[in-house]
């Protein structure tokens, strides 16, 4: 894809696909237990992604790189969605879950800074304002249980840690292979948790099938393929900041599709989140190029 076209199209596409997962999630967990929903999603999408990766000639990781890839996948898939979807099954709204997930750029920036990635003061200010905006919008949503809040925190930790872990330990990995392995390895884990829960009742097969179709084709395949391509091209903070926009998109979709309220404080919080995203997107002016005669010799990294 042309670089300019990718720069323009990738962020809004990611935001819309990422946001739609919460609407599909509400529909899915309203018709079946959350871990059954996730097992079905991971099993079907994992099989399709593996076939796609094989047919497209993906380069597969081996050894330690393979192990790191599987760990990143479990964090980003099982931990993230296990937490968020179980929270939704306990009547936490799609908007609230998305707003909680909107804190991930702040968490990603913290971990990225610890691991040595440069984060400018202006970006930190943007992350702070964005995080405050997310908090305000969360406060304005419907009341939910402490358990639901803790489950959202678990999901947030899974996404944030998984994103940083992937960038840190699997640099340059083929996005097709990474996406397929992330989803495929998550299916048996979700299946075991579903079995331990002893609940396989599907109350509305039609809605369940519709939710699964969207989750598999859009959320598990298209969104994560794009997400991994963006991580390959850009740094953690640049990719992470786009997630500040997903709460606004999810809130609009939830209002439009499932008639969820949007209060004044939510609007203020979403506005602050967008301001934070803009500030976080501004990077420091790059230093002047070093004269060729003064360029140091390359350092060998093991």
Q: Per-residue pLDDT averaged across 188-202, rounded?
A: 92
Which spans in 58-174 are helix H? 63-73, 80-89, 94-101, 104-114, 121-139, 146-169
Q: Give 290's pLDDT tier (boundaries 50, 70, 90).
A: very low
Name the residue with higher pLDDT: 128 or 214: 214
Q: What percent of the chain has pLDDT over 90?
A: 40
Map out the domains of the chain as residue ranges: 3-282
Q: Give 18's pLDDT tier (boundaries 50, 70, 90).
A: confident
Least confident range of 10-24, 126-140, 181-195, 287-301: 287-301
What 8-state DSSP symbol labels residue 75?
Answer: I
As a whole number of angstroms, the distance between CA 26 and CA 88 comes to: 6
**Please, are residues 147 and 90 in contact by the beta-carbon 8 Å criterion?**
yes
Name the residue with higher pLDDT: 86 or 256: 86
As a whole number of angstroms, the distance between CA 202 and CA 231 comes to: 36
Q: Per-residue pLDDT averaged across 97-108, rounded?
A: 78
Above 80 in pLDDT, residue 276? no
Q: What is the pLDDT of residue 281?
A: 59
Q: Which residues contact 219 (CB under 8 A, 6 or more apart)?
A: 17, 18, 20, 21, 24, 41
Above 90 in pLDDT, residue 116? no
pTM (2 decimals)? 0.79
Above 90 in pLDDT, residue 106? no
Highest averaged pLDDT of the listed ranges 129-133, 134-138, 190-194, 261-265: 190-194
The 10s digit of each residue's pLDDT in 219-233 is: 888 887 888 788 888
Q: Per-residue pLDDT averaged across 149-154, rounded?
A: 91
Q: What is the pLDDT of residue 148?
A: 86
As a whole number of angstroms, the distance between CA 267 and CA 239 comes to: 24
Q: What is the pLDDT of residue 299?
A: 36
Name the residue with higher pLDDT: 55 or 247: 55
As a whole number of angstroms, the distance between CA 177 and CA 184 comes to: 10
Token code pair at residue 173: 């990995």
DSSP H helix total and E strand total for the chain: 14, 0
Task: Report the chain's terminal Cα–Cα distance, integer Å.
Answer: 32
């Amino acid at each position: 894809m042309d670089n300019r076209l990718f720069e323009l199209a990738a962020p809004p596409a990611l935001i819309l696909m990422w946001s739609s997962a919460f609407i599909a999630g509400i529909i899915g967990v309203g018709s079946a237990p959350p871990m059954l929903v996730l097992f079905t999603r991971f099993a079907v999408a994992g099989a399709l992604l593996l076939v796609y990766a094989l047919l497209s000639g993906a380069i597969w990781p081996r050894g330690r790189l393979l192990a790191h890839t599987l760990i990143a996948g479990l964090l980003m898939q099982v931990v993230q969605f296990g937490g968020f979807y179980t929270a939704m099954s306990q009547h936490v709204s799609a908007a609230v879950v998305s707003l909680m997930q909107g804190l991930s750029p702040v968490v990603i920036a913290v971990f990225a800074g610890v691991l040595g990635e440069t984060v400018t003061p202006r970006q930190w200010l943007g992350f702070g304002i964005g995080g405050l905006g997310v908090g305000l919008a969360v406060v304005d949503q419907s009341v939910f249980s402490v358990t639901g809040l803790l489950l959202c925190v678990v999901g947030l930790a899974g996404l944030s840690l998984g994103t940083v872990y992937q960038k840190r330990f699997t640099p340059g990995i083929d996005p097709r292979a990474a996406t397929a392995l992330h989803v495929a390895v998550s299916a048996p884990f979700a299946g075991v948790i579903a079995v331990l829960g002893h609940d396989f009742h599907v109350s509305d097969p039609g809605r369940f099938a519709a939710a699964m179709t969207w989750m598999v084709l859009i959320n598990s395949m298209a969104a994560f393929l794009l997400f991994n391509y963006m991580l390959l091209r850009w740094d953690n903070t640049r990719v992470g900041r786009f997630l500040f926009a997903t709460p606004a998109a999810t809130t609009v979709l939830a209002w439009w599709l499932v008639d969820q309220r949007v209060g004044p404080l939510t609007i203020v919080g979403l506005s602050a989140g967008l301001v934070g995203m803009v500030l976080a997107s501004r990077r420091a002016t790059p230093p002047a190029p070093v004269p060729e005669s003064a360029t140091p010799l390359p350092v060998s990294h093991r």
